Amino acid sequence: MATILTVDDSRSVRTIVAKQVKDLGFEVEEAEDGVQGLSKLGEREYDLVLLDVTMPNLDGPGMLAKMREGGNKTPVIMLTSESKRSVVSGVMKIGIADYILKPFKPEELRAKVLSVLQGEGGAEDVLAVTSEPAAAAPEPAGRVEAGKQFVDVLVVDDMENVHKKLRTMLPAHISLNGVTSAQAALQSCRQRVYRVALVDTEIPDVDSAVLAQQLKVLQPHAAFVALALRTTNDVLGEARAQGFDNVLFKPFSQDNVDDFIGQYFDNLDLLTAEENVLKAAAFTGRADRIDKYYTRIAETFSPALNKVAAACFEDVILDVSVAPTTGDRLAKFLLAAADQAKQVGMRFAVVGGGELQKILNTYTETKELKFYASVSEAQAASQA
């Protein structure tokens, strides 16, 4: 849960702010001057500081300056009755995310708090025209959010077996973190960037809809999918009413998991590119899903090939060493891929294991394909 620090010498302002912020589902702590504020910031991390300007002992600009000098980049919204441009300009230079003039309307506080926590609003250059470079708004210090580790899927479910089961059904290239409590989910969302969050709708003592809303504030760009049991109710409709984008039913079926993968993960993940080498991801799942794997990988090959061609490479190397070799799907895919490469005027080479070499030699059409046992061999051959 996001925690906000309100720093104001007026008890009544702190009380009003605390109520508004709590109504949004966030935790709030109070400090009555800059000295107390800095002390609180030294004790723990906050997601946002609401800061008054005029206070005894250490005023808002003084506290803000000390925060930034000490490397603290917590976003700050000035909440003040000070409207002199020289004062506001001064604190903007030090780094604030937004500004609210007292007395304020609750909706303004709510909108700006959510906007800053979601990292999308505040004092950005919002003009509809191109402004002069000299007049461009500075990058607010509070928005800098670098170095967070990217993870594909967060699973929030109190049953650990759910995480384990889903892990076995997802391809290895899709990363997954599993947590069993709301607290751990919030903590993880502060430290990571997720593409999709799967939230169980039946976590003991937790309102999943409220939890999802809080996680959304920390993960504004993630998709939120409810993990729910199949019932006769309109589960999808209920989940959407609670703010979820979709539902993944438990117990998982491979069909549903594959649909989930197709919906939320760019198909290019199946085919990663590094310069002119395209590497097919490993297949995980039941044997009867191989057709679907090759259908998707064939769809992704064409745009990937175009990118290699656009980068002016003369050769394209397709590494299928971890692709399944059962049946004739691989051979058919390679033939189609070689044909596409020829059409864009590129030389085509395949990298794979001994099993692949046997398959290629089985068919007249694939015998002629250039085959190499490793990417380095293929690269050496193309440069020769």
Partner 1 sequence: MGAEKLSEQLEQIVLKRIAEDSLVLPTLPSVVAKALEVLKDPDVSFKQVGTIIERDPVIAARLLRQATSAAFAGGTKKVTLPEALTRLGAKAVRSLLVEATAQKVFMSRDPKIADSMKRVWQHSVAVATLSRDVLALSGNADSEAAYLAGLLHDVGKPVVAAILLEFERQMTEVYNRPFIDSAEWMAVIARTHRPVGVALAEKWQMPEQVTRCIRDSAEYDNADRASLVNIVCFSNSLAKKTGLYAGTIDADEVDALVMIGRSIIGANDEIIKTLTRGLKERLSNLYD
Q: Rule CB under 8 A: choose which of 56, 70, 106, 138 binds partner 1.
A: 138
Residues 6+ apart with CB under 8 A from 122: 75, 77, 97, 98, 112, 115, 116, 140, 142, 143
Note whether 127 binds partner 1 by CB under 8 A: yes
Binding residue (CB under 8 A) for partner 1 from 98, 152, 157, 200: 98
Determine if 136 is a binding residue for partner 1 (CB under 8 A).
Answer: yes
113 binds partner 1 (CB under 8 A): no
Q: Among residues 95 and 285, whose Cβ is nearest to partner 1? A: 95
Indicate whether 131 belongs to the interface with partner 1 (CB under 8 A).
Answer: yes
For partner 1, which is the closer residue by CB, 124 or 259? 124
Whose Cβ is closer to partner 1: residue 136's or residue 322's?
Answer: 136
> Least distance in Å: CB of 115 to partner 1?
9
By CB under 8 A, is residue 99 in contact with partner 1?
yes
Please report, as residue ranges, which positions from 343 to 362 form the binding site for partner 1 (by CB under 8 A). Answer: none
Q: Are 276 and 255 in contact (CB under 8 A)?
A: no
| Burial label, 26 (beta-carbon count in 10 A; 0-12, 13-18, 19+) | buried
> What is the H or E stretch that residue 101 is in?
strand 98-101
Cβ 183 to partner 1 shortest distance, Å: 34
Of residues 123 and 215, the one with the C-beta less far from partner 1:
123
User: Given the complex with partner 1, which of 104 and 363 has the nearer CB atom?
Assistant: 104
Binding mask 55-94 for partner 1 (x = CB under 8 A): --------------------------x-xxxx-xx--xx-
| Shortest distance in whole angstroms from residue 213 CB to partner 1 | 21
Which of 51, 100, 116, 261 touches partner 1 (CB under 8 A)?
A: 100
Nearer to partner 1, 98 or 315 (CB): 98
* Lookup result for tokens 């919002």: 126
Instruction: Name the residue nearer to partner 1 (CB basis): 93 or 307.
Output: 93
Could you tell me how far CA 362 lies from the centroid of its own chain?
44
Taking CB under 8 A as the rule, does residue 106 contact partner 1?
Answer: no
Number of residues counted as binding partner 1 (CB under 8 A): 32
Cα separation, 85 vs 108, whole angstroms: 20
Is 121 among the residues that bind partner 1 (CB under 8 A)? yes
* 8 Å CB contact between 229 and 249: yes
Which H/E stretch holds residue 257?
Answer: helix 254-264
Angle of CA points 58, 33, 120, to nearest 5° = 100
> d(Cα 103, Cα 168) in Å, to the nearest integer?
55
Q: Which amino acid is at 7?
A: V
- Rule CB under 8 A: is residue 108 a binding residue for partner 1? yes
- 208 — phi, psi (to 5°)? -60, -35
Residue 126 Cβ, how far from partner 1 at the closest point, in Å?
A: 4
| Alpha carbon distance 340, 71 (integer Å) | 53
Q: Is 44 in the site for partner 1 (CB under 8 A)?
A: no
What does DSSP say about strands 271-274 and 277-280: parallel, antiparallel, or unpaired?
Answer: antiparallel
CA distance 100 to 112: 8
- Residues of this chain that interact with partner 1 (CB under 8 A) are 81, 83-86, 88-89, 92-93, 98-101, 104-105, 108, 111, 121, 123-124, 126-132, 134-138
